Structure 1
Amino acid sequence: MRPVKPRLLLVAPPDSYRIAAYLKAAQSLDVELQIASRGEHSLVNEIAAGVHINLDDEQQALDKILRIAREKPFQSILAPDDYTVELAAKIAQVLKLPHNPPAAARFSRRKDLAREQLHHHNIPAPRFRRINLSENLTAQIQDFPFPCVVKPVSLSGSRGVIRANNHDEFIQACARIKNIVAPLRNEEEKTLLLVEQYIPGIEVAVEGFLNDGEFIPLALFDKPDPLEGPYFEETYYITPSRLALEQQRHIFQQVHAACLAYGLRTGPVHAELRLHNNQAWIIEVAARTIGGECAQLLKFGTGYSLEQLVIAHSLGLSLRMQPMEEAAGVLMIPTPKSGILRRVEGVLAAQKIPLIESVVISVREGYELQTLPEGSSYLGFIFARGPNPQEVEAALRQAHGLLNIVVSPLWKLGAV
C-alpha cells in the first residue's frame, strides 16, 4: 500500500508569481498541493482545478475550505503573498493546524498597524503618521519633519513608495499614490496612507524562519546601491553580508524582536532594515518569503529552493541543508522607462561574464513596462556566484552594463 501524501493548501491570489515555484517544490517533496484562489476562469490548470473562493469574503472562503477539509484533511495551510497571509492564518486556526495568530499576520501586511506595534514595544522604527486621503492633507502633515516617505499601508515591492522633501512634494506624492491604490478592494487600504520619517543609511534584507517563536536566519543580504529616493527600486542583493559579525547579530536580534512584537510564531520571515546611528531600524517585517526570482539565492546556499524549505518546515519534514561555501548575488534589472519593451540586447554577452549563472528576462517583447512607483514587477534578473561578495557584485555590474533595453513610447488614446 502506497503511503498517503501529505496535503497542503496554498491560499493565493490568482496572479501570484510564486504559485509556480510552490507547485514545483511540492512535487519535488512528494506533497499534494491544492490551490485556493479566485480562479474559476484561470488559464493555470492548478488554479482552475483548485478550490474557488472569494478572497474578499472571509466567511465564504472559510466555510468552503472547511467542507473540503472535513472530507480530505490538510496537514498545512500556507500563503505565498501579503494579500492572503491573514486569511490563511484564520483557516489554519479553525483547522487547528500550525499558524500565526491572525492579528499577527495582519500586522505583518499592514504597515501602519506594524508601526504601532513596533513603537509600543520600543523597537527602533521610523516616526510615523497615518494620513487619510479624504481629509485635509496639509493639516494632517503639520509639524511632521521632512524629508519623509509616503507609502500605501498594504502594497509591497516598493510600489507607491515616494520620498517627499517638502510640503509640495508631499501633496504631489499623495495625489500620485491615490491613483495607485484606487483599484484596491479594501476601502480602508485605499483611503489611508502611511507617512514616516526618512531614515538614511545602509539598507539590508533578511530571510529566515520562525520555529515556535525562535528566529532562525537563513541569509542576510547587502544592498550595495544607495536607496535614497524619490522612488526605492530594489537592485542588488548580495550574500553573505560584508557587515561585521556584531552588526549582523544585532540585525537578527531586531528582526526577532519585531516578530515577537507582532506576535508571529511560525513560518517564513522577510525583513528590511536600515543601519543608522549604530542602530538597526525596522522598515518592514513580512510573514512571507522574499519576492520575485530572488529566492533562487537561497538554493545556492542551502541546496533547496526557498519554497521547498517553507513547505518542509510547515509539514515538519527534515531537510539536510548544505553550508554556503560561495557568495551569491542577484540584480533585479531596473526598468529604465515606461513604454513597450521592444528587445533586450546584450543578453548573450552578459551571460558570458565570469561568475554569471544566468540572465533571465521576465517580460516578453511587446509587453508594457512601467517604472516605479506605479510599476509592480521586475524586468528580469541576473544571478551570479563566486568566491566572495566583492567579485559577485562586480560581475553583476559588468553584466548589467552590457544590456541595452530598448523601449518604445506607449501611446494611449484618450476620450474623444
Structure 2
Amino acid sequence: MRVACVGVVLALYSAWTYAQVTTTIGNGVTGDGSLLVPVDELGAWYVNFNTGAGGDLYDPVGFTVPGTPTFATGTYLFVGTSYREALVEEPTWAQSWDDTSLTHSVTSSLTAFDYAYNDGVPDTAKSGYDVTSGDGVVNLHIDLTTAVRRPAYVVQVYRITNNASTSINFKLYRTWDMDLVWDFNFENDQVCGGTFGGQGYASQGEEGIPEITFSLSSLNPISCYVGSKRTYVVDPNDPSCPVMGYGTDFQEWNAYGVPSCWCNFVAYFGTGPGCSSSGAFGDGHIGVEVPVSLAAGATTEVVFVHTYGSGTPALCNLADVNTDGVVDDADLLEILFAFGNTAPNADVDTNFDGVVDDADLLNVLFNFGSSC
C-alpha cells in the first residue's frame, strides 16, 4: 500500500532529476546476526519507494529467514524555521522533501573500506558534502562516516564544520521508519522510549522478542525522541499538534523538527520512558533529535547509533571498546594489544580511520571511567 502511494508521487515528479550513489557495507557475519546496509552518500538507507526492492538485510539470531527491517532511515537538517534539507538520495523521498532554502553538493565520493575484522567485507563508508544557503547564512561541511560493527549495529559520525562567517544553531533529526514483517504484519510493531547513558532513546520491535527489536540513539545530548504510530492523535485538544504519520511523512518536516507536542512521547503510552503495546495498530517509526551550536569556523561531531536485534543501544561511548557499558582497564588493554594493527578483530579502532593508534589510545584515556 505504501509503495503504490509513493508510485503516484514519482509519476507526478518524473521530470525531477537527482543523483543517487550507494555502497553496501556489512558486519561480515554469515547466518544469525548478519547485517548488510546499502548506505548512500548522505547517510541514508532505504528500499526503493516505487518498487519496495533493496534495503538493508538482517538475519535475527534464532530466525531462519533474514529480512529487510528498514523502509527508510535518514537525517533532516533544520536551521530555525527558515532553512531545511533532507539528507537523503532516495529519489521519491528527496524530491518530495525538496526545499530551495538549502542545497547540498558532494565533495568527497562515497568510498567503502574493510577497516574491521580483516574478513574482506567492506564495513565502513566515508563521504563528504556541503550544505549551503544562497544567502550565505548556512555554510556547513560534513564529513560522514558510516560503520557497521558486530554484533549488529551501525555507527554514523557526522563531523560538521561551520564555514560561514557567523555562528549557527541547527538540529539534526534522525528518523528510522521500520516495517517489521517477520510476523507478516508491519502495523503491530511496538514502539518505546527509554533511557541509556543518561538520556533518552527510542526503539521499535515485536513485543517481547528482543531479537527483532531495534533501537536508535545518539552519543550527543538530544533535545527529544519520539515513538510514533501512524494515525495516533497525541493531543485531541490541541489542533496545532499534528496527527502522527509515516516516518517519511511531512509532520516532522513541516514542524522543522519533532513537533513540540511529540517530544519524548510514545504513541498509545504517553510521555516516556515506556512502550506501546502490540495491540495498538498503526505503522511505526522512531526518531531522535540533536541540537547543535557552532561558532564560525568551529567543528563538532554528531553520532547516531542504529542497534539491530536489541531494544537497548549497543553503546553510549565510542571509547567503550568491548561495549560492556564502561570505559575501563579492559578497553585500555584491548587498545594496547592491538596497537599499530589495521583491520583489527574488535572495535578498538574507535575513530574509524583504519588503524589502532595514538588517537584511539587518547580516546580511551580521556573517557576513562565513563559509563552508561
- TM-score, normalised with respect to structure 2: 0.33
Higher relative contact order (CA 8 A, sep 6+): 2
Larger Rg: 1
Q: Which structure features the higher share of strand residues? A: 2
- TM-score, normalised with respect to structure 1: 0.30
